[in-house]
Every structure is written in C-alpha cells, then in structure tokens.
C-alpha cells in the first residue's frame, strides 16, 4: 500500500514538473515575440500604433527613393559644339529661274517659309554662320514687289547659311522719298536688336539670279548688283554702286554711314561711292555672271522724282560726309511690326512735301 502511494506521488511530481516546464517555455516565446511592442490595453490603441508605424515608414520612403535616384542618376549628354559654317555653303545651286508673272499672297509665302522665326529671322541650325547680317530695304508702297522679294530671297539666304534678319524700313507719309536716309535708319534700328557685323542694303525690286552671289561682307565694301537685266547685264558706268551693296559695321562707320540730304531720286549711290573712295577703301564685286539680277519693272514712284539739286551735292560729298551721315540722323519710329517674314519699321524721317 505504501509502495503504491509513493509511486502515485512521484507520478504527480513528474506531471507537475512537465506542466511548469511547458508553461515556462511558452511564456518565454511570447515575451520574445512581443517584447519590442508596447503593451496596449485595447484593440483601438493597437490599431493607432500600427498607423503610426506605417506613417513613419512612409515618411522614410521618399528619402530612400531620393537616395536611390541619386545613385542611379545618368549624367546629361554634353551639348553639341557647332563648328563654323564653311566659306562656300554646300547647298548652293548656282543660276536661278526667276519670274514675276505668278501672283503670290503673303500668306502663301508664309506657308513656304516654315524655317523662319518671328521678325524674318533665321540662323543655320547645324553650324555657326560666318557673319550676322542685317538685310535693310528702304520701302514705301511696294507691296507687290515685297511678296516677290521675300519669296525668292529667304530660300537663297537659307542656302547661303546666313544668320540674318530682314528689316523693311517704311517711310511714313507722302513726303519726298529718301532712300539713303532710310538705310541709315535701318542700320540704327537693327543695332538695337542684335549684334550685327554686316549690313546688306537692297532695293525691293532686285532679285539675284545666282545664289553664289553671297549676301555677306568682305574685306572691302561690296557691290553685289553688278549686272542688272535693266542694263543688259552690264555695269552702266565704272563707279556704279546702286541696287544692292554690303558693308561691314566698321566700313559703314568709317564713312559715317550714308548721306541724309538726298531727297528724291538719284545721286545717293554715287555719294556713297565717293565716301568709300575718300576713306582709302576700294570696292569689290562678283563677276558679271555671278552678279546678275532681275528687276521687277515698274513706273517711278510718286514723290520720288529726280531731284535737280542732287548732282551739285555730289561734288561736295567728301567734304560733307563728316557732318552728314549716321551722326546727324534724325527720325521718329511710328510702329514696329514683327511678322514671320520680316521686321516692318515705319518711320517719320521729316520729309519735305513735294
């Protein structure tokens, strides 16, 4: 009997030890699992704690993402360095076919000149132009001629890889026309807008018949329109400097620009020639084949009649040039309109009535 009771007691002790051993390990595992968490009395408190944890982790994500982006950021490609355009543009075609029988609207011309920027501006996209050129056109009431000139000249200048802007200098009012003074105005206004180093002065009725006749400046003043159809493609006289010419900024300032006092038709071109000669410069020209031009035929404009006083002024050209020129220029700008084809500047040049 005593033996039996002893066995029962030992069994109960073993069973108790086993129970407490299992309970000990279970509590230890639970403590290890939840020791990093706070003790929360309710389910709501536990849910808010989870939200706080998530918000903290989300706040850290942008920083981690930014750091990751910094690590994988690819450097931007280096800017392409453009080379200078070649002396001889590669896309020139030589002799051109020019006709004035087709009636063109300015809207039709605009649609074809999709390479231009506002103001009649263009620069070659794949090279740096040899020069920055302002094309200056003295103008009044020649809108039919303007359409033809823009239609032909813009593509020519593009092929010549010119960095250029077209300035139409429009004389306001019905006073006597003054071509040379308008060209001075063009120079002054163009220099307000861009750092030009070359100026091409052109009549609105002259179109080149060869795109190898480059609209740029040379070591000496350049006469471009040397062979007009009007003169049977020859020079009318040796000192002729009319129609289209180019001067660098330094050459232009060296002769004090052009005379402001030649009202009406005639004489100003010869005065400019005398200015160039008196400053010890020579005039360069293309050959007669390259320098061909076609003129748009027209009657002489009203208020641009020949002035009988102009030949007398010509005798004093070299004496008057220091006082009569860009340094004595007076005018008032009435309006500036920037079309995609041109910059149109209307000016009051204090013209006398005819």
Provide the annotated active-site residues: 203, 205, 265, 268-269, 295, 298, 300
- Please give the C-alpha separations between residue 89 and each of 84, 131, 157, 237, 253, in angstroms, as whole numbers: 11, 13, 10, 31, 28
Angle subtended at Cα 311 by Cα 306 and Cα 312, rounded to the nearest 5 degrees: 130
- SS3 string, 228-286, reads EHHHCCECCCCCCCCCEEEEEHHHHHHCCCCCCCCCCECCHHHHHHHHHHHCCCCCECC
Report how far residue 150's alpha carbon sits from residue 148's, in angstroms, rounded to the nearest whole number.
Answer: 6
Say how many CA atoms lie within 13 Å of 290 toward its Cβ. 12
Provide the CA 287 distance to its chain's centre, in angstroms.
32
Q: Estimate the crossing angle of helix 179-191 against helix 268-278, to 10 degrees.
A: 60
Report how far residue 262's alpha carbon sits from residue 110's, in angstroms, rounded to the nearest whole number.
Answer: 35
């Amino acid at each position: 009997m005593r033996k039996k009771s002893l066995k029962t007691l030992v069994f109960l002790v073993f069973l108790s030890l086993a129970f407490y051993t299992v309970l000990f390990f279970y509590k230890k595992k639970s403590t290890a699992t939840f020791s990093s968490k706070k003790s929360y009395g309710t389910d709501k408190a536990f849910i808010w704690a989870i939200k706080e944890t998530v918000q903290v982790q989300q706040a850290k994500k942008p920083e981690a993402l930014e750091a990751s982006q910094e690590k994988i950021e690819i450097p931007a490609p280096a800017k392409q360095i453009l080379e200078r355009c070649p002396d001889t543009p590669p896309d020139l075609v030589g002799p051109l076919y020019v006709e004035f029988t087709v009636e063109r609207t300015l809207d039709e011309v605009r649609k074809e000149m999709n390479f231009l920027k506002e103001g009649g501006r263009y620069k070659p996209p794949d090279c740096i132009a040899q020069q920055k050129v302002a094309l200056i056109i003295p103008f009044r009431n020649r809108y039919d001629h303007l359409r033809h000139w823009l239609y032909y000249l813009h593509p020519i200048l593009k092929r010549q890889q010119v960095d250029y802007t077209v300035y139409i200098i429009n004389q306001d009012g019905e006073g006597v026309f003054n071509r040379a003074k308008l060209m001075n105005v063009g120079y002054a206004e163009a220099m307000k807008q861009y750092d030009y180093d070359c100026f091409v002065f052109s009549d609105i009725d002259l179109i080149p018949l060869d795109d190898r006749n480059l609209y740029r400046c040379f070591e000496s003043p350049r006469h471009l329109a040397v062979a007009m159809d009007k003169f049977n493609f020859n020079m009318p006289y040796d000192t002729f400097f009319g129609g289209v010419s180019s001067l660098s900024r330094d050459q232009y300032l060296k002769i004090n620009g052009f005379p402001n006092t030649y009202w009406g038709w005639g004489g100003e071109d010869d005065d400019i020639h005398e200015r160039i000669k008196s400053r010890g410069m020579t005039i360069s020209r293309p050959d007669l084949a390259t320098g061909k031009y076609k003129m748009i035929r027209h009657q002489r404009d009203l208020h641009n009649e020949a002035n009988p006083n102009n030949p007398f002024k010509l005798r004093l050209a070299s004496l008057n040039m220091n006082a009569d020129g860009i340094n004595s220029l007076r005018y008032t700008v009435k309006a500036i309109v920037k079309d995609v084809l041109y910059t149109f500047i209307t000016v009051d040049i204090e013209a006398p009535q005819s």
